[in-house]
A and B are shown apart, each in its own frame.
Chain A
Amino acid sequence: MTEILFFIEVVVAGLLAGTMYSLVALGFVLIYKASSTFNFAQGAMVFFAVLSFVGFMELGLPFVLAFFVTILLMGVVGFFTERLVLQPLMNESEDTVLMATIGLGFVLEGLAQAAWGVEVRRLDLGIGDFPIPWIIESTGLFISALDLTAGLVAATMIIGLALLFKYTKMGLGLRAVADDPGAASSIGIPLPSIMLMVWTAAGVVALVAGMMWGARAGVQFALVDLALKALPVLIIGGFSSIPGAIVGGLIIGASEKVLEVYVGPFFGGGIEVWAPFVLAIFFLLWRPEGLFGEKIIRRV
Chain B
Amino acid sequence: MTSKPVFMSFSKGDIINLIVMMGIGLAVIPLVVQSDYWYSSILIPWLCLSLAAVGQQIVMGYAGQLALGAAGFMAAGAFALFNLELRLPYIPFPVNLMLSGLVAAAFGVLFGLPSLRVRGIYLMVATLASQFFIIWMIDKFGWFKNYDTSGIITAQDIVIFGKPFTSPLEMYLVVLVVVTVLTILAINMTRGSPGRNWMAVRDMDIAAESMGISLLRTKLQAFAISAFFCGVAGALFAFTYLKSMEPVAFDIKLSFRILFMVILGGLGTISGAFIGAAFILLFPVVLNTLGNEVFHGMVDATIISSIELVVFGVLIIVFMIYEPLGMAKLWENLTQKFRVSSAPKTKAQLGRKQET
CA of A17 to CA of B132, assembled, Å? 20
In the complex, which residue of chain B has the Cβ closest to the Cβ of A274? Answer: B132
The contact string, 1 if C-beta is below 8 Å from chain A, for chain B 38-69, is 00000000000000000000000000101000
CA of A284 to CA of B115, assembled, Å? 10
The answer to whether B139 touches A277, judged by C-beta atoms less than 8 angstroms apart, is: no
User: In this complex, which of B120, B256, B306 has the most chain A Cβ atoms within 10 angstroms of its Cβ?
Assistant: B306
* Residues of A close to B6: CB separation below 8 A: none
* Residues of A close to B132: CB separation below 8 A: 273-274, 277
Give the contacts of A88-139 with B (CB-CB under 8 A). 88-89, 92, 94-100, 102-111, 113-114, 117-118
Q: Is the interface of A mostly helix, strand, loop or mixed?
A: helix
CA of A228 to CA of B204, assembled, Å? 29
The answer to whether A92 touches B140, judged by C-beta atoms less than 8 angstroms apart, is: no
Partner of B129, one of A40, A98, A277: A277
The answer to whether B306 touches A104, judged by C-beta atoms less than 8 angstroms apart, is: no
Residue B312 at the chain A interface, CB threshold 8 Å? yes
The answer to whether A274 touches B320, judged by C-beta atoms less than 8 angstroms apart, is: no
The answer to whether B317 touches A107, judged by C-beta atoms less than 8 angstroms apart, is: yes
The answer to whether A267 touches B140, judged by C-beta atoms less than 8 angstroms apart, is: yes
Report the minimal beta-carbon distance from A245 to chain B, rounded to whole angstroms: 14
Residue B285 at the chain A interface, CB threshold 8 Å? no
In the complex, which residue of chain A has the Cβ closest to the Cβ of B315? Answer: A103
The answer to whether A99 touches B313, judged by C-beta atoms less than 8 angstroms apart, is: no
Residue B206 at the chain A interface, CB threshold 8 Å? yes
Report the minimal beta-carbon distance from A21 to chain B, rounded to whole angstroms: 13
**Given A103-B314, A300-B204, do A288 and B122 touch, yes or no (CB 8 Å)?**
yes
In the complex, which residue of chain B has the Cβ closest to the Cβ of A233? Answer: B125
Q: How many interface residues does chain B have, given as a range?
A: 35 or more
The answer to whether A95 touches B120, judged by C-beta atoms less than 8 angstroms apart, is: yes
The answer to whether B313 touches A235, judged by C-beta atoms less than 8 angstroms apart, is: no
* With A114-B303, A225-B252, A288-B122 already in contact, 15 other A-B pairs whose C-beta atoms are closer than 8 Å: A84-B317, A95-B120, A98-B120, A102-B256, A102-B316, A103-B314, A107-B314, A110-B307, A110-B309, A228-B252, A273-B132, A277-B132, A278-B133, A280-B125, A300-B207
Partner of A288, one of B117, B128, B139, B256: B117
Residue A157 at the chain B interface, CB threshold 8 Å? no
CA of A97 to CA of B141, assembled, Å? 39
Report the minimal beta-carbon distance from B276 to chain A, rounded to whole angstroms: 13
Report the minimal beta-carbon distance from B248 to chain A, rounded to whole angstroms: 12
The answer to whether A111 touches B320, judged by C-beta atoms less than 8 angstroms apart, is: no
The answer to whether B310 touches A110, judged by C-beta atoms less than 8 angstroms apart, is: yes
**Given A104-B313, A110-B307, A281-B114, do A274 and B321 touch, yes or no (CB 8 Å)?**
no
Give the contacts of A240-284 with B (CB-CB under 8 A). 267-271, 273-274, 277-278, 280-281, 284
Partner of A274, one of B133, B263, B317: B133
CA of A196 to CA of B121, assembled, Å? 23
Residue B324 at the chain A interface, CB threshold 8 Å? yes
* Residues of A close to B122: CB separation below 8 A: 235, 284, 288
* Residues of A close to B140: CB separation below 8 A: 267-270
Give the contacts of B194-217 with A (CB-CB under 8 A). 204, 206-207, 210
15 contacts between A and B (CB under 8 A): A94-B120, A96-B324, A103-B313, A103-B314, A104-B317, A106-B312, A107-B317, A110-B311, A110-B313, A231-B125, A274-B132, A277-B128, A277-B129, A280-B129, A288-B117
Partner of B121, one of A100, A108, A111, A231: A231
The contact string, 1 if C-beta is below 8 Å from chain A, for chain B 102-140, is 000000000000100110111011101100110010011
**Given A103-B314, A285-B117, do A111 and B128 touch, yes or no (CB 8 Å)?**
no
Residue B308 at the chain A interface, CB threshold 8 Å? yes
CA of A277 to CA of B126, assembled, Å? 7
Partner of B118, one of A92, A100, A270, A284: A284
Residue B278 at the chain A interface, CB threshold 8 Å? no
Give the contacts of A56-107 with B (CB-CB under 8 A). 84-85, 88-89, 92, 94-100, 102-107
* Residues of B close to A173: CB separation below 8 A: none
The contact string, 1 if C-beta is below 8 Å from chain A, for chain B 217-233, is 00000000000000000
* Residues of B close to A169: CB separation below 8 A: none
Report the minimal beta-carbon distance from B140 to chain A, rounded to whole angstroms: 4
Partner of A99, one of B125, B128, B316: B316
In the complex, which residue of chain A has the Cβ closest to the Cβ of B311? Answer: A110
* Residues of A close to B66: CB separation below 8 A: 95, 98
Residue B259 at the chain A interface, CB threshold 8 Å? yes
